[in-house]
Amino acid sequence: MINSALRQTARVAQRRYQSSTVSTTFLAKKQEYTFQKAWLSDPSTFPMIAIMGGAAALVAGVGVSCILFNPDVQISPSRRGAVVRNWEM
């Protein structure tokens, strides 16, 4: 069984070596990979796109609320230089 597999492999390699034509499949232009072709052409990806969009909106909202309402984040110019947290409002 192993001998027949080795013989077959040797035959294929010999045929490739003796071939006078050169394969040009690697020269063919690659298919353009776009978002529309990859994701919007398949309807089964729509729920995933919706979930990912919702998650991105949630993360953006939480980030903005943390920046605006967290007392440790000092955006105002008057409090920006403070080293220790000021417990006053």
Domain span holding position 73:
42-82
Contact indicator for 70, 62 with CB cutoff of 8 Å: no
pLDDT of residue 41: 87
Q: In the chain, which stretches have pLDDT less than 70?
A: 15-29, 74, 79-80, 82-89
Q: What is the pLDDT of residue 50?
A: 96
Q: If phi over 0 gives left and psi between -120 and 50 gives alpha, with beta otherwise, what is residue 19?
A: beta
pLDDT value at residue 16: 64
Total domain count for the chain? 1
Asked if 30 and 20 touch (Cβ cutoff 8 Å), the reply is no
pTM (two decimals): 0.49
Please indicate, yes or no, if residue 4 is contained in any of the structural domains: no
48, 56 in Cβ contact below 8 A? no
Per-residue DSSP letter, 21: S
Query: Does residue 62 sit within a domain?
Result: yes
DSSP 8-state class, residue 61: H
CA distance 59 to 47: 18
Over the stretch 35-49, which tens digit does the pLDDT of each residue have? 888 888 888 999 999
